[in-house]
Amino acid sequence: MAALLAGCAPDAGEAETEAAVATEAQALAACAYTITTNTYVGSEWWGTIVFKNTGTAAMTSPTIAFGVPSGVVCDHDEPGWTHTQSGSTCTYSRTSGLTVGVNASYTFYYSTNSNTSWTATNIQISDPSCGSTPPPPGPGMTANQKKVSEDLTSIWENDTPNINYAYSENIGDGRGYTSGRAGFCTGTGDAIQVIQCYVNLRSAGNGNLMAKYMPGLTTINNRFLSTGQSQASTAELDAVGNWVADWGTSYNNTTTRADFKSCQDQVSDRLYYTPAMNEATKWGLVTALSKAALYDAYINHGESGIKSLIRAANNAVGNSGQVAPVIGYNGITENLWLQRFLEKRRDVLAADSTWIEAVDRVAAYEKLRRRGNWDLGTAFRTDVRARDCWGTSYPFSGYTVRAINPDGTWSTPSTYTYSCQ
């Protein structure tokens, strides 16, 4: 079977690496914080949340959102705050500026109609100064199309359409531990975002086995940010625990599963799905198949890698000036552009001694293109290899053949024939 594929990007050229590092740094600056106190004392009708700004920029007008028990109503605004409530989520925003400096803490008070004691859930803190405002997401896929797209990527990552949130191992690709639904890597700045999110939701005292790794992850990530190079070493993590076992337990434990899964989903969408949909919009790609191909490439190659692939595809179809949108420019069709994009991606994988074992993942999208399954609305099988599409020089990746339905459900066929048609 092929090596499992990481969501973190392979090393790129210097300019691309600098861009990727800047993106990771900005994402980590997006309201990094630690919750140090989270209490609600029913006898006093009074709640307290204390958070510490662990980011790289001062907060200037924070918003605090958190969950309360069903039926509980938030009913008090401290000076400078106002709130709204949607279901069991209370959201407090500032009516005037409030600065919370780097490494400074802030104590937030609230009240509800509950006279029983509990702790707020899913505390989220945002602030306009935490990174730049991202562009609005481009049109994405329908829920079923996204499920099919995620099924495919999960096959390449874990040999099953079932998303493997508990997966973790060191695959020896120079990027540390590869973990979770999108192959988050400890050495490239994405695993730390999952753990930072998880720490914000759940403390070590509340069952967070991954919290103890934050200091080591920060050290590794600082090396990544300063050098622009993927970090293979996991020594700082191994010194405090068994990362692989703790990652798996964090998902398999029913008490912590929801929080851990939520953080993986959030980071995957923020780093891969939403940027992929934005790239599709920029270049004029409108079909679910093209968007699925971009999404998988984002997971596999990262931001700098996919931008390099897009440039190469544009050059190959005669758009050396990188005019956007490319579809319709000088008669360029989406069919031709996707064909060239997949060929360029095939070449990148085939040129790498580790990643050549995963080259068959590109062939699946090529077969769908040749069959015209543009909206992913027709059931299909993944019974195709790169050698079936482009010749016998490519190795067999060994992925288990799956049958995927338009609603994302799937099965394992007992018989099949490899073909690119």
Assign 3-class secondary structure to the chain.
CCCCCCCCCCCCCHHHHHHHHHHHHHHHHCCCEEEEEEEEEHHHCEEEEEEEECCCCCECCCEEEEECCCCCCECCCCCCEEEEEECCEEEEEECCCCCECCCCEEEEEECECCCCCECCEEEEEECCCCCCCCCCCCCCCCHHHHHHHHHHHHHHHHCCCCCCCCCEECCCCCCCCEECCCCEECCCCCHHHHHHHHHHHCCHHHCCCCHHHHHHHHHHHHHHHHHCCCCCCCHHHHCCCCHHHHHHHHHHCCCCHHHHHHHHHHHHHHHHHHHHHHHHHHHCCCCHHHHHHHHHHHHHHHHHHHHHHHHHHHHHCCCCCCCCCCCCHHHCCHHHHHHHHHHHHHHHHHCCCCHHHHCHHHHHHHHHHHHCCCCCCCCEECCCCHHHHHCCCCCCCCCCCCEECCCCCEECCCCCCCCCC
What percent of the chain lies above the pLDDT cut of 70? 90
Note the pLDDT of residue 311: 97
Residue 372 pLDDT exceeds 90: yes
Render pLDDT for 315-356 as a digit per residue (tens, 0 to 9): 999 999 999 999 999 999 999 999 999 999 999 999 988 889
* Residue 361 CB burial class (10 angstroms; 0-12, 13-18, ≥19): buried
Mean pLDDT confidence for 58-87: 88
Render pLDDT for 274-320 as a digit per residue (tens, 0 to 9): 999 999 999 999 999 999 999 999 998 988 899 999 999 999 999 99
Note the pLDDT of residue 345: 98
Q: pLDDT band for position 79 (50/70/90)?
A: very high
Render pLDDT for 244-253 as a digit per residue (tens, 0 to 9): 999 999 999 9
Mean pLDDT confidence for 50-66: 84
Mean pLDDT confidence for 73-94: 88
Mean pLDDT confidence for 168-173: 93
Residue 130 pLDDT exceeds 70: no
Residue 19 pLDDT exceeds 70: no
